[in-house]
Amino acid sequence: MKRTLTTLIVTLFAATAYAAPETYMIEPTHSMPRFEYNHLGYSIQLSRFDKVSGSITLDRAKKTGSVDVTIDAKSVNTGSALFNEHIQAADFFDTEMFPTITYKSSKVKFKGDQPVSVAGELTIKDITKPVTLTINSFHCMPHPMVKKEACGATATAKVKRSDFDMAKNVPYVGDEVTLTIPVEAIKQ
């Protein structure tokens, strides 16, 4: 009886520890949001942002979570220094007036033990729109280098750049943009 009671107490404490929300800080060298769009019907162009920060909180027992991401819009990387300047101008990201892009959510949807989508708000150029990210991959394990728990995910969504006051050259340059957000985050 005493052994059963001890086992029950240990199990309860373990379950309580697992039930606590876990916060992960985004690891910026392996988290580079990117976007792609149709360029004049010739090709799909791919660009990225080189600087991102933020946190992800998950409560796997309650199947809830939150996401808070900030992207440095001036870190846009198109592969061309000249085009980087062009895309930072007022017709597009207007990085002088709006140096950051944010995504905030407190609605993480789970299927079983895995998060499968995040419903949140994307803000670009001080315009906020609801955007649901579909999580295409999700994996957690001890990080072999930093010796802490880490999680990684890749999420995607489609948005219209005209919704964010960036409609220059539509329809020649596609209005629909595919966002892909690969992220790795370290447990705090």
**DSSP-assigned states of every residue in the chain:** -HHHHHHHHHHHHHHHHHHS-EEEEE-GGG---EEEEEETTTEEEEEEES-EEEEEEEETTTTEEEEEEEEEGGGEE-S-HHHHHHHTSTTTT-TTT--EEEEEEEEEEEETTEEEEEEEEEEETTEEEEEEEEEEEEEEEE-TTT-SEEEEEEEEEEEEGGGGT--TTTTTB-SEEEEEEEEEEEE-
Q: Mean pLDDT over residues 73-83, rounded?
A: 97
CATH of domain 21-187: 2.40.128.110
Domain coordinates of the chain in residue numbers? 21-187
Contacts of 33 (CB under 8 A, 6+ apart): 48, 49, 52, 69, 71, 179, 180, 181, 182
**Higher-confidence position of 13 and 36:** 36
| Neighbour count for residue 184 (Cβ, 10 Å) | 18
Structure confidence by residue, pLDDT tens digits, 91-118: 999 999 999 999 999 899 999 999 999 9
Structure confidence by residue, pLDDT tens digits, 122-167: 999 999 999 999 999 999 999 999 899 999 999 999 999 999 999 9
Which amino acid would we find at residue 180?
A: T
pTM here is: 0.87
